[in-house]
Amino acid sequence: MEGRIELIYPKRIAASIAVVAALGLMVSGCANQGSTGTSTGSSSSKINIPAITSVAVPANAVLPAGDGKGKCAATTTIGYIGAETGANAALGINIYNGVQLAIDQHNKANPGCQVQFTKFDTEGDPTKATGPVTQAVNTDAIIGVVGLPFSGESKATGNIFEQKGLVHITPSATNPGLTKNGWTTFFRALGNDSVQGPAAAKFATNTLKSKKVYLVQDDSDYGIGLADATKAGLGSALAGNDKVITGQKDFSAVVSKIINSKADAVYYAGYYAEGAPFDQQLVNKGFKGTFIGPDGAKDDQFISQAGDASNNAYFTCPCIPGELIPDFEKAYKAAFSAEPGTYSIEGYDAATVLLSGIDKGKSTRADLLSYVKSYDADGLSKHYKWDSTGELATPAVYGYKVEGGKILPIGVIGE
């Protein structure tokens, strides 16, 4: 995407979206639950919230190229550990493409420091993640890692990183409990679900004007933590709640409960692999309300798998829309022949933090870990400064909608 980006602060974005939402609510009715039957269309009355076309870009954002004077050993390596294959692989691919772009831009600008990049596939499965992580931490050349993408695999492997003193920055694992394990090597490049859950609840009830929200969660650490945070925020608007399991294909039982509850919205705490067929089955049984998914469901694969049923969908995500940052979007598209996806910009920024430390001579695991602990600078997506547990100071949550077969950002819904 070509053009000049408008430099505006997140608070101003939030205020603008609040005004737009309020105007939209004055002219739009909330979605209503229909009776059972067959339908392949969108919700019956979807609130019209315009997509935004610009996001705040810090003027002094640290970029991978640095000053071009970096020096490092030829063996210096950054690792990506996470899903490259598996049911939700698209989310992992978005991340390592962002990392790859950052490393490519760095190496092009720094002939004296050619950082290597090694990927390890976990399939996004906690039971399979310990092997790749063990392999990575025992590879001496790797002094920093971007990953792991998912909360369950992060929980299963955090102690392995800790034992080897290997810094790792997750662009996407949002379970709040991950920073309560006493790990000193774990850092989160976005807000956790204690931020996303309440923002999602307000988005559903205030912005989308849902009166009765049915909450469904999967059985992952991510889904469990997010559901708990969202449930607390929904309060009396909670119409009911249920659980599904990873790999589930038939959602008829929970669909019947939702329809019987007369809910006008569903919030699904889980990933797109189950979220997409779940939404499709809801719509096919006559559900006329809104489907709201979190960051784990926010991917083009949701639209591909749910088809026309996805027209009723909104998403929440503590991730910035990277496609609205012109230079990043242009470079990403040129490198991968695709638009940036969920977490692409967070993967890029996380890699940039590690690369900037390497360029400053942080050549050991201990030195790079110390550097990240004291990091305090803007990235393209947000300001990166962590507290002692590895949490960011001021994370924001964005809202998104499905329109015209695309996922479009509608602005900040929580800070």
> 292 - beta bridge partners?
267, 314
Return d(Cα 309, Cα 269) in angstroms, integer. 18
Average pLDDT over residues 74-83: 98
Nearest in space to 43 (alpha carbons), one of 28, 61, 63:
28
Instruction: Report, as an integer, the average pLDDT of 59-76.
Output: 97
pLDDT 10s digits, 356-371:
999 999 999 999 999 9
Residue 23's pLDDT band, with cuts at 50, 70 and 90, is very low
Q: Determine contact, residues 406/342, Cβ cutoff 8 Å.
A: no
Strand residue runs (E) in 153-236: 168-170, 186-188, 213-217
Query: What does DSSP say about strands 116-121 and 77-82: parallel, antiparallel, or unpaired?
Result: parallel
**What is d(CA 80, CA 149) in angstroms, rounded to the nearest whole number?**
9
d(CA 178, CA 390): 9
| Distance separating alpha carbons of residues 66 and 51, to the nearest angstrom | 33
3-state class (DSSP) for residue 328: helix
CB burial of residue 237 (10 Å; 0-12, 13-18, 19+): middle
> Greater confidence, 415 or 262?
262
Q: Would you state the pLDDT for residue 2?
A: 30
pLDDT at res. 47 = 82
pTM exceeding 0.85: yes
Say if residue 21's pLDDT is above 50.
Answer: no
Note the pLDDT of residue 30: 32
The topology (CATH level 3) of 77-191+323-385 is Rossmann fold (3.40.50)
pLDDT-derived band of residue 34, with 50, 70 and 90 as boundaries? very low
May I ask the CATH class of domain 10-50+193-321+397-414? alpha beta
Give the pLDDT confidence of 312-367 residue by residue, as tens digits.
999 999 999 999 999 999 999 999 999 999 999 999 999 999 999 999 999 999 99
How would residue 18 be classed by pLDDT, with cut points 50, 70 and 90?
A: very low
| 355-373 exposure pattern, b = at least 16 Cβ within 10 A, e = fewer | bbbbbeebbebeebbebbe
Which neighbouring-strand residues pair with 265? Answer: 213, 290
- Residue ranges, comma separated, of all CATH 3.40.50.2300 domains in the chain are 10-50+193-321+397-414, 77-191+323-385
Q: Residues 41, 308: contact at Cβ < 8 Å?
A: yes
395 confidence band (pLDDT: 50, 70, 90) = confident
Mean pLDDT, the chain, rounded, equals: 90
DSSP string, 147-169: E--SHHHHHHHHHHHHHHT--EE
pLDDT value of position 86: 96
pLDDT band (50, 70, 90) for residue 43: very low
Residue-wise pLDDT for 192-226, tens only, equals 999 999 999 999 999 999 999 999 999 999 999 99
Beta carbons of 129 and 156 less than 8 angstroms apart: yes
Q: What does the alpha-carbon distance between residue 277 and residue 93 come to, in Å, rounded to a whole number? A: 21
Which tokens hold the place of 97?
């493409």
How high is the pLDDT of residue 45?
Answer: 55
